[in-house]
Structure 1
Amino acid sequence: MTARIYQRPKNAMQSGKALLDQWILEFAPSEARRPDPLMGWPGSADTQTQVTLKFHSVDEAKAYAEKYGITATVHGTPPRRLKLQAYADNFR
């Protein structure tokens, strides 16, 4: 079983920063998705892809993965770059 650990990204549509400090452990799909014969929607019998675990720190997520024998890769968060701009800059 493999998984990835990452920090929740900021929503581009909102300025709030709630829940950005959470770390998420998601399982990788173990089988490919295939179209349903009746409706044609993609799906699989793998229920692990529906599970997302939330942790307060990356160390807690790593400890959980080690405890249950899950091979996990940690994806770091890129640094946030602020573009400070004044309203008066629009008229230069």
Structure 2
Amino acid sequence: MLARIFRPAKNAMQSGQGMRADWLLEFEPASARRSDPLMGWTQTTDTEGQVRLSFETKEDAVRYAEAHGIAFQLVDPKPVKRIIKAYADNFAFGRKVPWTH
């Protein structure tokens, strides 16, 4: 049973970084999902795939996995590329694209 420790990406509806989610420990699926022939819903026999544990820090998640003998893969988040913009840049003299109405 392999687990992933990661910090989920922010929601597309959010613009700020303030209320980001904690670190999650999530188990990899042990079996493939299959569809139910009657209703079309997906079903699985893997109950560990439903478990998601949240931790405040990465170190807490790693400590928990090591204490319980869980093999894990640590996925560090990618650094955020910030594009600093100002409204005044729309009217700058050296603008790359000329201003048109």
Query: Smaller-chain TM-score range?
Result: 0.7 to 0.9
Gaps of 5+ in 2: 96-101
| Alpha-carbon shift at residue 56 of structure 1 (Å) | 1.2
Secondary structure (helix, strand or coil) at the match of 1:64 reads: helix
Larger of the two Rg values belongs to structure: 2
Secondary structure (helix, strand or coil) at the match of 2:5 reads: strand
**Alignment TM-score, normalising by the size of structure 2:** 0.80
Say what the alpha-carbon RMSD is for the aligned residues: 1.5
CA change 1:43–1:90 in 2 (3 A) is: farther
| Alpha-carbon shift at residue 79 of structure 1 (Å) | 0.7
Summarize the alignment of residues 34-53 of structure 1 with structure 2, pairs less than 5 Å apart: 34-53=34-53
- The CA deviation string for residues 8-37 of structure 1, in whole angstroms up to 9 with x for no partner, is 3222211242034x1100011000001112
Q: Percent identity?
A: 49
**Alignment TM-score, normalising by the size of structure 1:** 0.87
Aligned position for 2:19: 18
Gaps of 5+ in 1: none
Secondary structure (helix, strand or coil) at the match of 1:59 reads: helix
Return structure 1 stretches of 4+ with deviation > 3 angstroms.
none
Between Structure 1 and Structure 2, which shows a larger proportion of strand residues? 1
